[in-house]
Amino acid sequence: MSATTWAWLVLLLPLLGSILIGLSFKLVPARVAGIVGTASIGLAFACGVAMLVNLLGQDPDARHHASSLWDYASVAGLDIKLGIYVDQLSTFMVLVVTGVSTLIHLYSFGYMRSDEGYHRFFSYLNFFVFSMLLLVLAGNFVLLIVGWAFVGFASYALISFWYRRTTATKAGMKAFVINVVGDIGLVLAAFLIFRELGTFDYGAVFAKAPHVFSTNEWTVTAICLLLLVGAFAKSAQLPLHTWLPDAMEGPTPVSSLIHAATMVTAGVYLIARTHVLFVLAPTAADVAAFVGLATLLVAGTIAIAQTDLKRVIAYSTMSQIGYMVMGVSIGAYAQGLFHLMTHAFFKALLFMAAGSIISAMANRQDIDRMSGFWKAMRLTSILFLVGSLALAAFPLTSGFFSKDSILAFAEARGGMYFWMAIGGYVGAFLTAIYTFRLVFRVLPGDPCPEAQHLIESGELYHGPPINPATEEEEDVEVGFPGAHHHIAEQSKPMAVAMAVLGFGALFAGLIQVPGVSDVLFKFLDPAFANSPLSEVHPSVGAEWRGLVIGGLISVLGIGVAWLLWVARPEWPALFRERLRPVYLLCLNKWYFDEAIDLLVVRPALAIGRFANRTFERVVVDGLVIGAEDVVGSGGRLVRLAQSGYVRAYALLLVVGFAGLALYFLLSSS
Amino acid sequence: MNVEWYVVLSSLLFAIGATGILIRRSPIVILLCLELMLNAGNLALVAFSRMVGNQQGQVFAIVVMVVAACEVVIGLGLIVALFKRRLPLDVDALKELRG
């Protein structure tokens, strides 16, 4: 079978899984739904591997294929096919998405076992994977937008999965609205592309673009900036990032899959996919790189001050995606995608471990309450540590190689990009600090009561079910989290999924070690050969220099975290007091929510109120009420004739007909 | 005989019927007066039909009879219903249609 046939199978399997599980609700036991859901994604991963094997059998420069099933829309000069585009980039994304998804499905199989909405969860999750695969396999901008909107919906549905929790439904709406802002940018970009190039098809667009656009022409810059609006909203970059921390209201596997490993990297994929346009619009690419840099720094500072376990990891996700966006924008395409892959591994792992800890805490997420989990949950703790080491780019872990490959490229490009690399190292320092702040506060020390309970009885602590955001007590029926979730120590599927990811988080970087192995870049580079920036290559020496610097910074950051939260635990409070304005700024997330409220939400409400007061009340109501008055007064006049005396009506009738007869008699004579 | 006599008689009957409707209050009498007016019309139709010399007027007279029969059914039905509900059999007392 050809690569495209395998790709169609990759798309078909999760869709089938979603439909089957959705329709067989109540017909099959929950276990079956979980097995079907996991198996469909696992098979999709197998098909993805087959696709890769097929591509590897071909000449590196001929590894791109388009295929279409039927016309999606064919009107008035528009010819859109239901087509996919298989090349190194989409194959890579398919493998990352299906691979990580399989493990997260496996994890959910154990984690969500006590939840009332088990079928619904797996149906949504499979639908999400289908949408994400549609997004990365789409062969034209229209299907890309379809997949883009589908993942937005899946994200909304899964954030609001516990739909009787008000905080969750609000977070879902927020995510959806902000993502729609991004969708509008993407749709407008597609319109502009069609106006200028007359086609939506990837192949044709990228072939024509260099001949139609001159460098930095305003149209191509506008297209790229609009694409960036879409990418920023989906990938939670400044200033459209505020939905991501709130999205942590969803179940932890969702945070792991959608809001860490796959969907939020769609923006990175989009920039890499349209790199031909970004090469023609260097200004837009620089904007993207600066936003990525700003995001990674801002998110890093916020993460240091937050106390919600999942939110800290969410901010670290934002920050790591900042690296990727910066990477693919400055031309480090393969490097950015490399970081995307390793990040998917260690961040998914970190969320899984966090989910396990939160289960043991009876759904509480506040790190101030946690301590001593090293003694209570050894497996989870080890894997949490592994994920943290990779996130902090500890030497020889996967994050170490991938993050520094981006920064080494920036350094090699020189000029202002050199300073971006410096900013990236500052971000790496922050990353190490906030990551090990989590580790040092959660793992060591005397066990907290929940952990103590687990050690003594070997069973999970069962507090009253509460909403971690509002501390309100809640129900455990459908629409709420079940009575309890599960921990990796007591659930085989969870332990297996986490162990595999832990292996990936530790060793996935070894496929791409400067001067030693070059598996990934050799595979990906032909897809970006048409970019002039593919000429830039940091020397092996420079890369190793970057790696040493990165490793030192990581170790230094971990040391600082150790100093602050283990050796001198009284210091953080001291800092909070001395640097109160800075602390408040970080604690309140740089006031982005407030700023958006002030700049967008309030003006919109004010305009609405103004329109209500003037236009609605005066013009619309004037017309409507005026018409009503005319009809009403006419009716009052006619009512006078309706006396209710039948004989009076009869008299009127007789007189009227007599008058009429008289008139005709007179007029005819 | 001349057609005028018939038309005069018809007009007279019609006027009597109309007057009855206007001055009487019993629904039964009003129904009778209505019949009277319809049959005044029938008489005129038949008379003119004879005058013209074809049968169209007579056919119309039969149609009017059918309509009259239907009307009587409904009218008497209404009166029976009024009686069953013990409402006054007086059209002036029934003025719920007042606007």
Tell whether A340 is covered by a domain: yes
CA dist A294 and A299 (Å) reads: 8
Pick from A640, A641, A654: which is nearest to B18 by CB?
Answer: A654
Same domain for A650 and A626, yes or no, is yes
pLDDT class of A663 with cuts at 50, 70, 90: very high
CA dist A377 and A370 (Å) reads: 12
Task: For residue A559, give the amino acid letter.
Answer: G
Closest CA to A360 of A381, A375, A347, A377: A377
DSSP secondary structure code for residue A614 in this structure: I
A647/B25 CB distance under 8 A: yes
pTM: 0.79
Token pair recorded at residue A91: 């194959």
Average pLDDT estimate for A554-567: 88
Same domain for A578 and A600, yes or no, is no
User: Looking at the complex, does the CB of residue A62 fall below 8 Å from at least one CB of chain B?
Assistant: no
Average pLDDT estimate for A73-84: 78
Q: Which fold has domain B3-84?
A: Helix Hairpins (1.10.287)
- Measured at the CA of B6, the angle between CA B3 and CA B8, to 5 degrees, comes to 110
Q: What percent of chain B has pLDDT over 70?
A: 97
Residue of B nearest to A648 (CA): B22
Res A83 pLDDT > 90: no
Same domain for A320 and A289, yes or no, is yes
Same domain for A509 and A657, yes or no, is no
Same domain for A504 and A546, yes or no, is yes
* A contacts of B96 (beta carbons < 8 Å): 644
Per-residue confidence (pLDDT) for residue A145, from 0 to 100: 92
CA dist A16 and A20 (Å) reads: 6
Q: Please tell me which residue, A627 or A28, carries the higher pLDDT value.
A: A627
Same domain for A614 and A565, yes or no, is no
Residue in the block written with tokens 């059209």:
B91
CA dist A307 and A319 (Å) reads: 17
Same domain for A563 and A637, yes or no, is no
Listed residues A534, A553, A587: the one ending a domain: A587
User: A438 to each of A6, A343, A403, A442, A490, how far by Cα in Å?
Assistant: 42, 18, 21, 6, 23
Same domain for A301 and A417, yes or no, is yes
Pick from B91, B96, B97: which is nearest to A647 by CB?
Answer: B91
Same domain for A544 and A653, yes or no, is no
Average pLDDT estimate for B11-15: 94
Element containing residue A117 per DSSP (H, E): none
A654/B92 CB distance under 8 A: no
Q: Please tell me which residue, A609 or B93, carries the higher pLDDT value.
A: A609
Same domain for A460 and A404, yes or no, is yes
Q: How far is A666 from chain B (nearest CA, A)?
A: 19
**Residue A349 · residue A100 · CB < 8 Å:** no
pLDDT tens, A494-539?
Answer: 889 989 989 988 888 888 888 778 888 888 888 888 877 777 778 8
Same domain for A330 and A464, yes or no, is yes
Per-residue confidence (pLDDT) for residue A533, from 0 to 100: 76
Residue of B nearest to A655 (CA): B18
Average pLDDT estimate for A419-448: 88
B95/A645 CB distance under 8 A: yes
Neighbours of A299 (CB within 10 A): 30
User: HSE (CB half, 13 Å, CA atoms) of A359?
Assistant: 31
Tell whether A258 is covered by a domain: yes
User: Looking at the complex, does the CB of residue A27 fall below 8 Å from at least one CB of chain B?
Assistant: no
CA dist A32 and A118 (Å) reads: 10
Res A63 pLDDT > 90: no
Task: For residue A151, give the amino acid letter.
Answer: V
Residue in the block written with tokens 């050894």:
A378
Q: Is A592 helix (H, G, I), strand (E, B) or coil?
A: helix
Residue of A nearest to B30 (CA): A647
Same domain for A514 and A660, yes or no, is no
Please state the length of chain A. Answer: 669
Q: How far is B53 from chain A (nearest CA, A)?
A: 24
Tell whether A22 is covered by a domain: no
Per-residue confidence (pLDDT) for residue B36, from 0 to 100: 93
Per-residue confidence (pLDDT) for residue A136, from 0 to 100: 92
Structural domain range at position A378: 166-587
Listed residues A587, A612, A645: the one ending a domain: A587
User: Looking at the complex, does the CB of residue B99 fall below 8 Å from at least one CB of chain A?
Assistant: yes
Per-residue confidence (pLDDT) for residue A156, from 0 to 100: 92
Listed residues A587, A613, A647: the one ending a domain: A587
Q: Mutating which of B19, B89, B92 best tests the A interface, going by the most A Cβ atoms within 10 A?
A: B92
List of residues 6+ apart from A78 with CB closer than 8 A: A194, A200
Token pair recorded at residue A518: 């070059």
Question: What residue spans define the domains of chain B?
Answer: 3-84
Q: Is A586 helix (H, G, I), strand (E, B) or coil?
A: helix
Number of domains in chain A: 2
Closest CA to A588 of A306, A318, A364: A306
User: Looking at the complex, does the CB of residue A654 fall below 8 Å from at least one CB of chain B?
Assistant: yes
DSSP secondary structure code for residue A619 in this structure: I
Res B42 pLDDT > 90: yes
Res A483 pLDDT > 70: no
CA dist B7 and A540 (Å) reads: 125
Q: How far is A644 from chain B (nearest CA, A)?
A: 4
